[in-house]
Amino acid sequence: MQSIDEHLQKQFTRIALAGSTKCGKTTLLGVLTKGMCDNGRGSIRDLMVNYSHEVQKGGQTESAVFELIGFDQQGKQVLSNEQPKNKSKYQSEVFQQSNSFLYLVDLCGDTKYFKHSISTISKCFFNLIIIVIAADEGISRITVECLLICQLFKIPFIIVLTKCDLLQTREDKDNIINKIHNQISNSFVYRKLVIANDGKICANLMNARLQRNDNQRGMICPLFEVNCIDRNGTEPLLEFLFHFKNQDQNISELRSQDQPFMMDVFYVCNVKNIGEIPFGLIKSGTVKLDQIVSVGVDDNKQIQCAKVASMQNVRSSVTQAKSGELICLILQPITQTSIDFSKIKIIADPKINIPYVKAFWANISILPSPTTVTIGFKPILELGNITQQVTLSKIHGDKQFLKSGDCALVKIQFVDEAYELVNENQQFILRSNHSIAYGQVINISQEDLIQNEL
């Protein structure tokens, strides 16, 4: 088991790969994390996906893939001697030998599964998103929606252009780059596209801008050209990723490791002979082995508690973990009362008075769309680790419906009056088949609040 001091000194960054289906995201992920080349037919992709049927679909990823890149103190990538097929041992060895590391998450690009990508972006508070564009396909609707989501959640992004070897002439590639430039320089996104030859310089320019914590409009957007067959272009990209800094201090939803512990649970996996293991992001504080934590409320709205029996960071056992890290916890009940760990959404210090509510007020803006929003409309809410159907129960003022471009103060209620953790000032997205609106929590309705006085 790793020593406490050694683990807590490691620097890390959370990064997502986003883009349309079959643009080469998963192949790029494999090339970057395993130091290998692809054969041009997706050979390395087969090592990365979570399920065998995703291999058969050839390019259609249905579930988010979590991977790791490690660096030594000089910025050289750390690779493992383990077989890439053995994800657990491979990632554990890289993590143990690295001075700093990157969480890389490959998001779904197919329209049918893109809702999972929106949910993951809402939950993970990524420091950076790599938008992957295939040179032979160009900009798709999913690409545009990825840019939109980056802007809504204020996430910096870069562009990686893949499959350039499929273009016939230099003119064809210039045409694609011009289209990308036009798309990201529009009035809504407004970034300055630069061809990235020096990853360190590009990273330092972005770091300096982000440290000021001001509007990202006008910030540079580096474009990297990567060939996954011969790994040409990967070195500048890896150099950029090493020098790009975690900016968690600018994310209001994430708090320092000195604050009380709180963790959002993304999902709970069932492991044979162990049981149900929650996986998620620590939003504040530090969690330690044998610590007593609250795991939500029961049917009688009473707080339930458990003990942290074990924890893992990137498939490696650790004795404690801090704010911003993605971890798994093995929990044990501290009383004879059974706990359904499969329903856990929040794990926290029992002293925190968690605002579980069934409704809240928010300012929303309707995105360009043919959809008209009225009272009683039931979209899906993506807010932190919440992915739930909600009802638009009230619109403040005289408006009876909202159309494209409208802004309004509305009351949002969870269907079936389910109670969820909601904090003021949180950003969220409302969606059905696509993003419909974005907004910010303004006020937690006091009559809908569970008062957890502990």
| Domain CATH number, residue 148 | 3.40.50.300
The mean pLDDT value for 395-399 works out to 89
Q: How confident is the model at residue 4 (pLDDT cuts 50, 70, 90)?
A: very low
Are both 65 and 177 inside the same structural domain?
Answer: yes
pLDDT for position 323: 94
Is 257 inside any structural domain? Answer: no
For residues 331 and 278, the answer to whether their CB atoms sit within 8 Å is: yes
Furthest C-alpha separation in the chain: 70
Task: Give domain status of residue 211, yes or no.
Answer: yes
* Mean pLDDT of all residues belonging to the chain: 87
Task: State how beta strands 359-366 and 292-297 pair.
Answer: unpaired
Q: Residue 410: its pLDDT value, please?
A: 94
pLDDT at 331 over 90: yes
Mark whether 227 and 311 lie in a shared domain: no
Structural domain boundaries, residue 138 = 4-250
Is residue 39 located within the same domain as residue 173? yes
pLDDT band at 451 (very low <50, low <70, confident <90, very high): very low
Residue 255 lies in a domain: no
Structure-derived torsion over alpha carbons of residues 30, 36, 41, 46, reported in degrees to the nearest 10: -50
Query: Side chain identity at 92, as an amino acid letter?
Result: S
Structure pTM? 0.89
Cα(317)–Cα(88) distance, rounded to whole angstroms? 12
Number of independent structural domains in the chain = 3
Please give the DSSP secondary-structure letter assigned to residue 167.
-
Domain boundary among 308, 323, 348: 348
Percent of the chain at pLDDT > 70 equals 92
In a domain, 256, yes or no: no
Q: What percentage of the chain carries pLDDT values higher than 90?
A: 52
Asked if 412 and 375 count as a contact pair (C-beta separation under 8 A), the reply is: no
Which pLDDT does position 203 carry in this prediction? 97
Residue 239 located in a structural domain? yes
User: How many CA atoms within 13 Å lie on the side-chain side of 122?
Assistant: 27
Q: Cα angle at 105 between 50 and 11, to 5 degrees?
A: 130
Residue with the bigger pLDDT between 424 and 220: it is: 220
Please, are residues 116 and 242 in contact by the beta-carbon 8 Å criterion? Answer: no
Q: Check whether residue 274 and residue 230 sit in a common domain.
A: no
CB 118 within 8 A of CB 438: no
Same domain, 219 and 289: no
> Is 183 a domain residue?
yes
Per-residue pLDDT, averaged over 229-251, amounts to: 94
Domain final residue, candidates 192, 226, 250:
250
Query: Are the C-beta atoms of residues 237 and 132 closer than 8 Å to each other?
Result: no
Tell me the CATH number at 396: 2.40.30.10
**C-alpha atoms less than 13 angstroms from C-alpha of 445 in its C-beta half-sphere:** 17
pLDDT tens figures, 21-71: 889 898 999 999 999 898 887 788 777 776 665 555 555 666 678 899 999
